[in-house]
Structure 1
Amino acid sequence: MHIQRVERLNENLLVTFSDNQTGEFSLFWLRDHSTDATSLNTSTLQRDVETFALPDCPEVANVNIGDNGATLELHWQDDSISSVFAADFLYRMAFNAVAPPAYELWASDLQDQIANFDFNDVTESSAGFLPVLDAIEKHGLVTFSGMPNDMQATKKLLEQVGYIRETVFGGLWDFSNNEAHSDSAYTSVGIGLHTDGTYTIDPPGLQLLHCIAFNGEGGFNQFADGFKVAQTIKDEDPEAYQLLTQIQVPAHYLEPGIQLRAEHCVVTENSQGQFKQICFNNYDRSPFMLAPAQQRAFYKAYGRFQQLINDPAFQVNFQLQPGRAVWFDNWRVMHARTAFSGFRHLAGGYTNREDFISKILTLREQTPWQQ
């Protein structure tokens, strides 16, 4: 994007871009967003300008279009400061330019296309881990091979994103069918598709499962794209979809000395109308009641979500064996496990959603002024 011309209109600048659209920027906003060294800390990118000490209409001495339209440079009259703005940044601010979703919806067609990475290859450097993060952003699901059969490998993989999240299950955890916690994960029974942590105010972002040992039959891991299911309901029954985005569903986790409670909508969108988060766990749902008509409509919508995630057409599945791991986006991908016999030992852990976002933005070298 390039700037064609700039005009002054009262307390604003009218900036016309190469697509002939004109954005209107107040002089106050432009001064507040100056990236010069006295206004913005160059190392932390924290604002240093005293925003509310600025005059209501900061006066500009000169306005120049630079770099063949790629930048706009303002010389402020009162404090002799120069502010340089990239045309792309101004365009994005003016028109709230919405980038296409970073995710791609999928169903059973992903079965043979799940991105797989070699453990040694992707843990050699932070930069080498970017393709893993790209794949998680795209599909919310990746697998690993060549995993050493110990928890140090689990820990090393998790720490490629950030610190390991502590929960009631610990930080780095391992589990088998030993009933160590009041959770069906610590048994050998089948577990239906769900997201973890619906009973927490901030559900875990990513979840890693690493198979340490398995001597038995069954125990297939199943996954479904919650975004795909949400889009399907949005297309077929907009009213049901609205309920899933509006009704806060309570959930709980109880064991001696612990009582966790939270409530979330099944589907959350971001400010741009793109899918942001799925929270669905019928096992952990707490008692709550709505007005009769809304209650019937909710059960219908909630039941439709449950029906679709259990449709094989929306699922992928595989059996984790020793040396294999799967990492998935718990804000998007539903996971399940079929019943099994014998002994099954898995290790794993959670990382926060913001740490995943932080790592991917850092490796891409994106800041709020550049993305």
Structure 2
Amino acid sequence: MAVKNLAHILKQTFNVTRCNLKNTQHTTLRCKSVAADTVQSQCTPIAVTALPASHQTVRVIFNNHKTADFKTIWLRDNCKCSVCVHEETRQKMLDSPSLDVAIKPKSLTVTNNGNLVITWHENGQDHVSTFDSSWLYRYGQSFIHENFESEDNDDHPKRLPVVLWDRTEIWKSLPEISYNEVMGSDEGLKQWLGMFYQYGIAIMRNVPPVQGQLVELVKHFAYVKETQYGVTFDVMHEPDPQAHPAFSGLYLHHHTDMNYREKSPGMQLLHCLKATDPKSLGYDPGGMSFFVDGFRIAKWLEDNEPSAFHILTSTPARFQIKTKGKRYSQLWPIITLNQDGDVCEIHYNNRTMGPLQAPSHIIVPFYHAYKLFSEKMRHPSSELKFHMVPGDLVAFNNRRVLHGRTAFDPTKVSRHLVGCYVDIDETFSLYDSLLAKSHS
């Protein structure tokens, strides 16, 4: 590329406003906002030139003076043209094993808007691949830092940033919305799903308190995930002493559900059909629902007790239960990390955790770490706590947000919740689609 053209591109791109968005107390600092797609285009450097390098590599130079090296076979395999990728499903149509691993570009060109255009010669004919600057920069940084994202989000605007919260933070901006807003428009549904993604919890008010309404609501955005407890389950007092503790007036400590399954359900919903109004009694009769951001507790542990954090992320605990003659059992760390070392799941339920099976020198440190995590989680400053009233519905990420209930006397308190589970990827997929629709 000529020096004159390069100087012209640099002059244009350096006039772009610098991206300086920060999200305090968020898990990851990245260029994200409500108008995330616009922000991303502003803060991502563009390619200015590309040239062949050694060892079957193409070197791309960006206008911020950074470079990224891409193996030629990787670039050819990730061509985005309509021949190589199905336009509707984004499935790869290219047969990767049929490619020449030592393939070399016939030509390299960088356009004025920063696209890398490569012409390949294969099977006696030319094939053209075009790569967007933002895509190249993102994957180029991944190769440099060996920090790889789990998915390619080219087709959707960026989601809102995840917010870590305690009692004070959550009450400042309570994630709540009315039933009519959610059911009345895509914008209302998108707002509710955005709250759920950001905070791991979203409250819906004035949902008709009738049986069957929960399933009808879920059909508006996904489908119910049936479990051994059925399509839905009723959380109400049962006089049977053999009944599940949830169906009693007992205090239920913080927990996540079904850690004993192959994969615990991602989204859980609880809909209040009946509840005694504390105002009518003049005192708290018990039966308050509470929720805690497990990601926030894990972050606190990592910052203040790193040894304990390491123990809880590296020691699998067995969760197990016997119900209706069937036994379920699974191993999970209390705090689960993804491949980048970020917290991605919490598995915590003291009632279903079996005997710890670990080397002897791990036992005492594990219980010390478990105690620290639990005490911080159970502290009132960590809890969002309130009485659910008829018409309230709470949706929460069961792999992030822990939930529980204070004790109550069933002879004095009437309390009936209906619950169900939903595959969380269905929820997030719809959220992405609504984001894309609103920005199209």
TM over 0.5: yes
Q: How far has the Cα of 1:172 moved from its partner?
A: 2.4
Equivalent in the alignment of 1:6? 50
State the aligned residue count: 365
Q: Are 1:31 and 2:79 counterparts?
A: no
Partner Cα distance (1:203, 1:161) in 2: 20
Deviating more after overlay: 356-365 vs 39-48: 356-365
Opposite residue 41 of structure 1, the aligned amino acid is H
> Are 2:268 and 1:207 aligned?
yes
Task: Say whether 1:42 aligns with 2:87.
Answer: yes
Deviation of 1:125 after TM superposition, in Å, equals 4.0
Q: Is the contact made by 2:291 and 2:402 (CA closer than 8 Å) also made in structure 1?
A: yes
| Equivalent residue runs for 1:212-361 within 5 Å | 212-215=273-276, 217-341=285-409, 342-361=413-432
Could you tell me the percent identity over the aligned residues? Answer: 25
Question: What is the DSSP-based 3-state SS (H/G/I as helix, E as strand, rest coil) of the residue aligned with 2:194?
Answer: helix
Matches within 5 A, 1:154-173: 154-173=214-233
- Match of 1:111, SS state, is helix
1:74-100, Cα deviation, whole Å (9 max, x unpaired): 121223221111110111111127799
- Alignment match of 1:102 (pick from 146, 157, 161): 161
Higher mean Cα deviation, 74-83 or 162-171? 74-83
Does the alignment pair 1:132 with 2:192? yes
Structure 1 vs Structure 2 CA RMSD: 2.1
Shift of 1:25: 0.9
- Residue 280 (structure 1) shift: 0.5
Post-superposition shift, 1:6? Answer: 0.6
Alignment deviations for residues 33-60 of structure 1 (CA, whole Å, 9 cap, x no partner): 0111221111211111111111122232
- Aligned to 2:126, which of 56, 80, 100? 80
Pick which of 157-166 and 189-198 moved more.
Answer: 157-166
SS in structure 2 of the partner of residue 19 of structure 1 = coil
- Which secondary structure does the structure 2 equivalent of 1:209 belong to? strand
SS in structure 2 at match of 1:64: strand
Task: Write 1 or 2 for the structure with the bigger share of strand.
Answer: 1
Pairing 1:114–2:153 present:
no
Q: Match for 1:358: what amino acid? A: S
Q: Distance in 2 between matches of 1:258 and 1:179?
A: 23
Q: 2:202 aligns to what?
A: 142
Partner SS, residue 339 of structure 2: coil
- AA in 2 matched with 1:353: I
SS of structure 2 residue aligned to 1:295? helix
Moved more, 15-24 or 284-293: 284-293
Runs of 4+ in 1 over 6 A off after TM superposition: 97-101
1:218: Cα distance to partner? 1.8
Change (3 A) 1:134 1:258: same
Q: How far did residue 240 of structure 1 move?
A: 0.7
Structure 2 SS opposite 1:29: helix
Cα distance between partner residues in 2 of 1:290 and 1:29: 42
Shift of 1:182: 4.2
Inter-partner Cα distance in structure 2 for 1:287 and 1:42:
51
Aligned to 1:192: 253
The CA distance in 1 between the partners of 2:312 and 2:129, in whole Å, is 45
> What TM-score do you get using the length of structure 1 for normalisation?
0.93
Return closer, same or farther for 1:179/1:279 CA change in 2, 3 Å cut-off. Answer: farther
Equivalent residue number for residue 237 of structure 2: 177
Give 2:87's aligned amino acid: T
Write the distance in 1 (CA, Å) between the matches of 2:429 and 2:130. Answer: 26
Aligned-partner residue type, residue 285 of structure 1: M
Ranked by relative contact order (alpha carbons within 8 Å, sequence separation 6 or more), the top structure is: 1
**What is the distance in 1 between the residues matched to 2:218 and 2:306?**
38
Give TM-score, length-normalised by structure 2.
0.79
Q: Which runs of 5+ in 1 are unaligned?
A: 367-371
Letter of the 2:422 partner, please give it. T
Answer with 357-366 or 293-302: which moved more: 357-366
Give the direction of change, closer, same or farther, for the CA distance of 1:19–1:156 in structure 2 (3 Å limit). Answer: farther
Aligned equivalents of 2:77, 2:100: Cα separation in 1: 11
Q: Which amino acid aligns with 1:224?
A: V
